[in-house]
Amino acid sequence: MSDRNQDTAGEARAMAKAEAAGAPITRGSLARELRELGVVGGMLLNVHSALSSLGWVVGGAQAVVDALLEVLGPNGTLAMPTHSSQLTDPANWGHPPAPEAWWAHIRAEMPAYDPACTPTRAMGAIPECFRNYPGVLRSDHPQTSHAALGLKASLLTAEHPLDDLFGDGSPIGQLYALDGHVLLIGVDHGNNTCLHLAEARADFPGKQRHKEGAPIRIAGEQRWQPFEPIQVSDDDFPALGEAFAATGLETRGALGQATARLMRVRDVVDFALPWLEANRGQAAKQDQP
């Protein structure tokens, strides 16, 4: 079956499921459910999403973005991670790995990061749609950028040091400082990039920096720029997230056919920091004499 036929078959299944439920999912129905969940005008909202989890949406990703912007209103700010993991050091690639003989060619020929042009990778249809909206600002990090639109967009995206992927100097750090919220649409905390801020702040066995690099432009010229960020992992984030949900500080509700989760960035990060310090690296702790 061709890719086109596979896409059509998937859409047909989603449409049949929506028909069985009695009505399609629309911008208006999504806006109503967002308000019921607790999203309000003026909020700074960081969204992680899986479009397919919503079911068949009239207008697809654009309708979802429009519904979010409608509810947040003119004084709100919508933000999404717009990562581009294709602009990483090929020496670190594993899915799939790049032949070592190619590494120098890849570093030399990979197009430099451009906030306006560089596509997202493995982030889903909604953030890829959102980054192209008029007026959207995008942070200047070749691998872990954030995009934002609204009142606080410039504050969120102005600074993003190369070696600070998710720490206090990154847009995630600004989400915390500005008392933003996180909305997970059809995904769990394994996709919650805000937890990496707690990871950056926490002290646990095995925490270290690693060698990275990316193609960037400096003074109009492209160069391969090495840097050493903290090694991050989201392997334990789903378990961390379920422990956080048990505190009652996370609101869950329906959004289309998906489950959505809403919470304050400060609540989940402040919970995650001691959780990571207590739980991460347990094997390393037990091996210590």
Tell me the whole-structure pTM to 2 decimals.
0.93
pLDDT at position 15 is: 76
Query: Exposed/middle/buried for 6, CB within 10 Å: 0-12, 13-18, 19+?
Result: exposed
Kindly report, residue by residue over 193-212, the tens digit of the pLDDT: 999 999 999 999 999 999 99
Dist CA 173 CA 166 (whole Å): 7
Burial of 182 from C-beta contacts in 10 A (0-12 / 13-18 / 19+): buried
How far is Cα 69 from Cα 45, in angstroms, rounded to an integer? 10
What pLDDT does 285 receive? 47
Query: Tell me, what's the pLDDT at 35?
Result: 98
Q: What is the pLDDT of residue 13?
A: 75
Q: Are 121 and 85 in contact (CB under 8 A)?
A: yes
Which residues of the chain are modeled with pLDDT < 70?
A: 1-7, 10, 19-20, 282-289
Q: What distance in Å separates the CA atoms of residue 181 and residue 183, rounded to the nearest whole number?
A: 7
